[in-house]
A and B are shown apart, each in its own frame.
Chain A
Amino acid sequence: DTGVSQNPRHKITKRGQNVTFRCDPISEHNRLYWYRQTLGQGPEFLTYFQNEAQLEKSRLLSDRFSAERPKGSFSTLEIQRTEQGDSAMYLCASSLGTGDTQYFGPGTRLTVL
Chain B
Amino acid sequence: AQSVSQHNHHVILSEAASLELGCNYSYGGTVNLFWYVQYPGQHLQLLLKYFSGDPLVKGIKGFEAEFIKSKFSFNLRKPSVQWSDTAEYFCAVNSRGRGGSQGNLIFGKGTKLSVKP
Contacts and interface: CB of A to CB of B under 8 A. Distances in A.
Interface in B16-64: 32, 34, 36, 42-46, 49, 51
Interface string A69-113: 000000000000000000000010100001101111111000000
A16 interface: no
Contact of A43 (B96, B103, B107): B107
B107 A42 contact: yes
Interface in A30-62: 31, 33, 35, 40-45, 48, 50, 55-56, 58
A42 B46 contact: no
B100 A98 contact: yes
A43 B44 contact: yes
Interface of B: 4, 32, 34, 36, 42-46, 49, 51, 90, 92, 94, 96, 100-101, 103-110
Interface in A17-40: 31, 33, 35, 40
Nearest to A105: B43
Nearest to B51: A99
A109 to B, nearest CB: 12
Interface of A: 31, 33, 35, 40-45, 48, 50, 55-56, 58, 91, 93, 98-99, 101-107
Nearest to B99: A98
Contact of A41 (B36, B92, B101, B109): B109
B107 A56 contact: no
A31 B103 CA distance: 8
Given A48-B104, A99-B100, A101-B49, A42 B43 contact: no
A45 B51 contact: no
Q: Top 3 A-B pairs ranked by shortest CB distance?
A: A99-B101, A42-B107, A45-B104
B109 A40 contact: yes
Contacts of A44: 107
